[in-house]
Amino acid sequence: MSLAARLEALLLRHWWQPRRTALAATLAPLESLYAGLSRRAADVEPRRAPVPVVVVGNLIVGGAGKTPTVIALVRALQAAGYTPGVISRGFGRDGDGVCPVEPDASPAEVGDEPLLIRRRTAVPVWVGRDRLAAARALCAAHPEVDVLVSDDGLQHRRLARDAEIVVFDDRGVGNGRLLPAGPLREPLPAQLAPGRFVLYNAPAPTTALPGACALRTLGPAVALEDWAAGRPTDGVALETLHGRPFLALAGIASPERFFTMLEAAGLEVDRLPLPDHHDFATLPWPAGTPQVLVTEKDAVKLAGRALGGTRVWVVGLDFTLPDSLVQDVLRLLAPPRTR
């Protein structure tokens, strides 16, 4: 494990303690510095995109369920008559410029999560460090788009937004401290600002903020080659895999959540947690491993790889958004354009 990975693991252990540890207390001066820099960065004049914007993001570092929330929101907007597009920074990609995400793009070029969103939704997706520039470029290329979903970007204040969905998972806010003493990117508010809503990727709320819980379901297991070719309906129900041993791996922010859901579905798995956005420069499982279960976020980087004799199955995670949350968001948007 690299020094950076060891440092990250150390911080994570302390961040997710319910009380501030000695290390978190030692980092308090840097926490104050971060708070000051964040306030200064937030002091910008927001500028509007050509169409309404809904931002989906976290108050905490790392993923809490943004990607399945974005996918579910895109589908809810389509059901309401909108033609959505998605913008994202494209975390972990090479470069910061603005560009479209094509279905056959490399994750290194556009980022693993934007590529997954593009493949799952088939709507226009553009990436760029400057989210406003990405929004303008997408709308110029796709004039039919009448609403944008921003994958992450709560702290990207330059982009004006009509609504925000803040996603928390079962970890809540950990020790409640700001970076680097804790996992928070901004302070937890005492109450929600107008236009900001909370979605819990958990069975019950995990903070004091009012919010609704997503209904989480695992999809069927789809052979990697079928998933990559856009044939997700060729999968097999998870209950048909009972009694077989699998190696399950996940390069996501909370791998244990994936493993727990697989086990709750009755599967027998050996767990292989990997760092978030793992690049799969080399295959992480032992040679001769017969069958592996992976997340869709990992599948975008494994597609097309030589896997030897290992059979790789992709198991997707789907969210169903509470209707109350969808209606709250829709009330803040202009009506969809007449086609």
Bind-site residues for ATP: 60-67
Binding site members: 60-67
Looking only at the bridges linking them, the beta strands covering 215-223 and 311-320 are: antiparallel
Beta carbons of 213 and 205 less than 8 angstroms apart: yes
User: Measured between alpha carbons, how far is residue 329 from residues 198, 293, 339 in Å?
Assistant: 11, 35, 22
269 Cβ neighbours under 8 A, 6+ residues apart: 245, 246, 247, 248, 259, 262, 263, 293
User: Measured between alpha carbons, how far is residue 291 from residues 81, 248, 311 in Å?
Assistant: 41, 9, 5
- Unique residue bearing structure tokens 């996992």: 183
On the CB side of 12, how many CA atoms lie within 13 Å of its CA? 14
What b/e string do you get for 11-44 counting C-beta neighbours within 10 Å, with b at 16 or more? beebbeeeebbeebeebeeebeebeeebeeeeee
Beta carbons of 73 and 54 less than 8 angstroms apart: yes
Give one word for 286, left, alpha or beta, with left for phi > 0 and alpha for psi -120 to 50.
Answer: beta
Angle at 125 between CA 124 and CA 126, to 5 degrees: 125
- Locate the DSSP E strands across 191-333: 196-201, 212-213, 215-223, 245-250, 268-273, 291-294, 311-320
- Unique residue bearing structure tokens 């950076």: 4
Closest CA to 162 of 147, 143, 144: 147
Closest CA to 69 of 163, 179, 184: 163
| Joined tokens for residue 21 | 């540890």
